[in-house]
Amino acid sequence: MSRRRFYAPPEAFLPEGARVALSGEESRHLRDVLRLRAGDEAFVFDGEGREFACVVGDAGGRGAMA
């Protein structure tokens, strides 16, 4: 299986609980195209050379949190 990778700008990485908020477009791709759900694994990169293994927390509504 290929890696499920999503981009989030550095400011999207929230300090509380080491969470990241994905954009609406990335969230839609995660939820509607790849059909990922809470508990699924994904990787988020910040465009500055860092990549993080994440677990999808909330993929509903207009945004996703990992």
Domain of 42, CATH number, reads 2.40.240.20
Counted domains in the chain? 1
* Residue 22 contacts residue 33 (beta carbons within 8 Å): no
Structural domain range at position 38: 5-65
20-44 confidence digits (pLDDT tens)? 888 889 989 998 999 999 899 999 9
Give the residue among 54, 26, 24, 27 at the shortest CA–CA distance from 42. Answer: 54
Kindly tell me if the per-residue pLDDT of 7 is higher than 90.
yes
Kindly tell me if the per-residue pLDDT of 45 is higher than 90.
yes
Kindly tell me if the per-residue pLDDT of 61 is higher than 60.
no
**Arithmetic mean of pLDDT over the chain:** 84
- Give the three-state DSSP class for 27: helix
- Give the three-state DSSP class for 12: helix
Kindly tell me if the per-residue pLDDT of 9 is higher than 90.
yes
Instruction: Report residue 61 as tokens.
Output: 């509504």
